[in-house]
């Protein structure tokens, strides 16, 4: 009886879509490509793929990232399940969206070019196919929630950075301008950064000390912090 119940059920396609964020020159960016199949062939899309029979959705997302960026073991977090029956005009497709944070300097540029992908500034994104705009909005919301209780710069900044570098990153993520003094005070009270003896003297003769992240940069607080 149970086998008959399975056999009588409709079959749906399952896909993953990766919202791949990067950071470069003080700007949060998103990796997009021209879709290569119909419907919506040639239009701007997130990078995604089907979930194979022998893999989990996490495995599928990691495979998509590896195939397009050449990177392994990068940060991935599930954002949301998109399951509106008419979301994909090509058929009944349920898509699981994932956030990914990528060091733009480390990804394989040749692979990205092969897939026709381009980095777009988050403030100037083109119109995306289907419900991909909603996916990006959800992903940004989740990224900002995470950044409010965990310092996420270790995935987007170089090993050594100044407090100003970290503030510029947060300005880009939240699309706002944080007060330098308040931001510095908040970051230094979180006990997540280690001060070094090295200095960045490019901005002034006095220079600014470089910091690096401690091994565990998560902020152990009972509620989300408000970075002001």
Are residues 24 and 168 in contact, defined by beta-carbon separation less than 8 angstroms?
A: no
Q: 């399952």: which residue's tokens?
A: 14
Does the 153-213 domain belong in CATH 3.40.50.2020?
no
Beta strand residue intervals within the chain, DSSP E? 13-24, 27-34, 44-45, 47-50, 75-82, 93-102, 117-121, 193-200, 208-213
Per CATH, 2-147 and 153-213 having the same topology is answered no
Measured CA distances, 143 to 51, 78, 84, 153 (Å): 24, 11, 23, 12
pLDDT in tens, the chain (228 residues): 577 888 888 889 999 999 999 999 999 999 999 998 999 999 999 999 999 999 999 999 999 988 888 887 788 999 999 999 999 999 999 999 999 998 888 777 888 888 788 999 999 999 999 999 999 999 999 999 989 888 888 889 999 999 999 999 999 999 999 999 999 998 888 888 999 999 988 877 678 999 999 875 454 433 455 654
- Per domain, the residue ranges of the chain are 2-147, 153-213
CATH no. of 2-147:
3.90.79.10
């Amino acid at each position: 009886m149970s086998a008959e119940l399975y056999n009588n059920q409709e079959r749906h396609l399952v896909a993953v879509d990766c919202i791949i964020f990067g950071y470069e020159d003080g700007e949060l960016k998103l990796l997009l490509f021209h879709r290569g199949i119909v419907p919506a062939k040639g239009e701007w899309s997130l990078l995604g793929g089907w979930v194979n029979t022998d893999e989990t959705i996490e495995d599928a997302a990691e495979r998509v990232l590896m195939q397009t960026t050449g990177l392994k073991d990068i940060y991935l977090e599930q954002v949301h399940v998109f399951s509106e029956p008419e979301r994909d005009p090509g058929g009944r497709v349920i898509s699981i969206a994932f956030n990914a944070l990528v060091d733009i300097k480390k990804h394989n540029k040749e692979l990205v070019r092969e897939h026709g992908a381009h980095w777009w500034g988050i403030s100037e994104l083109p119109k995306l196919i289907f419900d991909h705009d909603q996916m990006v909005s959800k992903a940004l919301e989740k990224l900002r929630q995470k950044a409010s209780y965990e310092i996420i710069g270790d995935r987007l900044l170089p090993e050594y950075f100044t407090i100003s570098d970290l503030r510029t990153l947060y300005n880009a993520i939240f699309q706002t301008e944080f007060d330098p003094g308040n931001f510095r005070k908040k970051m230094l009270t979180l006990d997540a950064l280690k001060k070094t003896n090295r200095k960045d003297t490019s901005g002034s003769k006095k220079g600014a000390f470089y910091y690096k992240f401690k091994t565990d940069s998560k902020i152990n607080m009972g509620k989300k912090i408000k970075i002001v």
